[in-house]
Chains A and B, each alone.
Chain A
Amino acid sequence: MTNASPTSRETIVNALLALLLLGLPLLAFAMGEPFYITLATRIAVLALAAVGLNIALGLGGLVSFGHAAFFGLGGYAAGILATHAFDGVPLFAGIPGTVSMPVIWLVTMVACGLVALPIGAISLRTAGVYFIMITLAFAQMIYYFAISWPAYGGEDGLSIYVRNEFPGVNTTQPLPFFLICYAVLMAALGLFWLLRGSRFGAALQAARQNATRLSAVGIAPFNIRLVAFIISAMVTGVAGALFADLNKFVSPSMMSWHMSGELIVLIILGGKGRLFGPVAGAMLYVLFEFALGGITERWQFFLGLILLGVVLFARGGLLGLLAGKARHG
């Protein structure tokens, strides 16, 4: 079969990317260069956020320009719960804060799901440009709310004094924290892979390719898309919680529309709808940021040029270059 070789080539490229992302910080650890571990953690967390978005965008064709809202919600879940635990003040009705990452992730997923449900239900009544603009607008709504709500720092953001805890792991050290992020990223990639191959994934991808066809076989595209949007928001939210823990800081800028744009950029740089597209994209992005940022303060100018070049001339992204055209069995 002609399509067997690009597929297996993609598998090899994916495995190499996964090993590269794991190997670099281990090497950095061995060489006593914690900065590079932090850089790799940043890649893993941004990739995780983009994997979440890729469920909606890559599989479902839903160009959400508001996923930064969920990224920020996760960040605030981590920040707020940690602050309450630190101060010993209950959240409300006697419920205490927590510094346990698994609990924070769970709260994040519930919160993101509850917010994504109405946003998705309204936005998915529309399509195309409307969907893009409405998701953007809702994210701005949450962004402005975060800025003007004074209880948790408002515009100045919220510091996490000590990184949250994970049972049995010393999260204050860079390498163990990286490994947590890496493990969550791999779990999310596993989820993406399972979803893509499942019945739900089949319906979701069909909704992207041809929603009328999906309706004609009796599956309502709206329900499928809404569930995908919610799952997608939850995964991006967990990434936000980890991002806050990485920086020990959360602020409304995590929810800014630039962040939403960057998440889309990560996917496109890597290769839309591909399992490891977000990973490749996040690697490229953070490397650009690091390499260009070292040379010039104006690195975003050049990032813009590169991005423009990718959109206009290299639509498959990095994985398109490395592993050939995407195939869908």
Chain B
Amino acid sequence: MAEPVLEILELRKTFGALKATDGVSLDLRPGEIHALIGPNGAGKSTLIHQISGSIRPDSGSVRFLGQDMAGLDMAARARLGLGRSFQISSLAQEFSALRNVMLAVQARQGSSFRFFRPVMDDPTLTEPAMAMLERVGLAGRAQMPAAELSHGERRQLEIAIALALGSKAFLFDEPMAGMGPEGSKSLTKFLDGLRLEAPILLVEHDMDAVFALADRISVLVYGRVIATGTVDEIRNDPEVRRAYLGEAA
């Protein structure tokens, strides 16, 4: 089996009396989509935050491409190739869609301390950014300020940004949330192809999408992984049915 790209070991985080993350271990292997599901409040977003570096875990480790991430902040992890989207879209609201993606291209080139050349006249920024917008189907909205994009379009824009970073693994936090059935369907198709570029850790409530996409599924309940397995294994796992799917069905 190939070395995992991302490896989470015994991660713990408590907020007061709440064990938000209670000894979580999981990994993400090359070429796969690993879905993380669980009821609301199970600690999925908290886990994503700890992996991406915006929350510091109490104990446990996150290894990415064989390197321990302890002590690296979100920006440093992003530079190493850990691309994320946010549960609630997080964009530079006044910037156009294109400029949002250009920011990622600029970051990838590692050159934000350039003070004079206008970015809009710099094809090494505009062209790759435009290409990413085209890939996610947002090229027609390139000049629109992020604040004026529809909810679904903002999710697409977040993915375009993660693509533009040249990420070596993606953390997507509910990318389908708030999308219509059409949007979900086309995004599902898109993510299906994306896994070949880099593996995806996918937090998602849309079970159709999860079952269609996931190579493996981990079920998180009250901060603990109660099961990890293939789609069929998870569907037939009695504990999962009782704790989670049973309620949902």
Which A residues fall within an 8 A CB radius of B?
Answer: 1, 194-195, 197-203, 205-206, 209-210, 212-221, 224, 227, 328-329
Determine the chain A residues whose CB is within 8 A of the CB of B118 once the complex forms: 194, 197-198
Determine the chain B residues whose CB is within 8 A of the CB of A1 once the complex forms: 143
Known contacts A194-B115, A213-B92, A219-B112: A203-B74 contact under CB 8 Å: no
Determine the chain B residues whose CB is within 8 A of the CB of A210 once the complex forms: 90-93
B110 to chain A, nearest CB (A): 8
The answer to whether the Cβ of B195 comes within 8 Å of any Cβ in the partner chain is no
Q: Is the CB–CB distance between A227 and B106 below 8 Å? A: no
Determine the chain B residues whose CB is within 8 A of the CB of A199 once the complex forms: 106, 111-115, 117, 119, 125
Known contacts A209-B93, A328-B145: A217-B115 contact under CB 8 Å: no
A190 vs B209: C-alpha distance when bound (angstroms): 51
Q: Is the CB–CB distance between A219 and B107 below 8 Å? A: yes
Q: Is the CB–CB distance between B75 and A220 below 8 Å? A: yes
A–B complex contacts, Cβ < 8 Å, 6 sampled:
A199-B106, A199-B119, A202-B112, A205-B92, A205-B94, A218-B76
| Shortest Cβ distance from A207 into B: residue | B92
The answer to whether the Cβ of B130 comes within 8 Å of any Cβ in the partner chain is no
- Cβ < 8 Å to A, chain B residues 105-148: 106-108, 111-120, 125, 143, 145
7 tightest Cβ-Cβ pairs between the two chains A and B: A218-B78, A218-B79, A197-B118, A209-B92, A215-B74, A328-B94, A220-B75
Which B residues fall within an 8 A CB radius of A?
Answer: 52, 54, 73-76, 78-79, 83-84, 86, 90-96, 99-100, 102-104, 106-108, 111-120, 125, 143, 145, 161, 165
A224 vs B106: C-alpha distance when bound (angstroms): 14
A325 to chain B, nearest CB (A): 11
Determine the chain A residues whose CB is within 8 A of the CB of B117 once the complex forms: 198-199
A210 vs B111: C-alpha distance when bound (angstroms): 19
Q: Is the CB–CB distance between B99 and A209 below 8 Å? A: no
User: Contacting B95 at CB < 8 Å: which of A194, A209, A215, A227?
Assistant: A209
A224 vs B115: C-alpha distance when bound (angstroms): 11
B130 to chain A, nearest CB (A): 14
Determine the chain A residues whose CB is within 8 A of the CB of B86 once the complex forms: 212, 216
A139 vs B114: C-alpha distance when bound (angstroms): 29
A216 vs B125: C-alpha distance when bound (angstroms): 18
B163 to chain A, nearest CB (A): 11
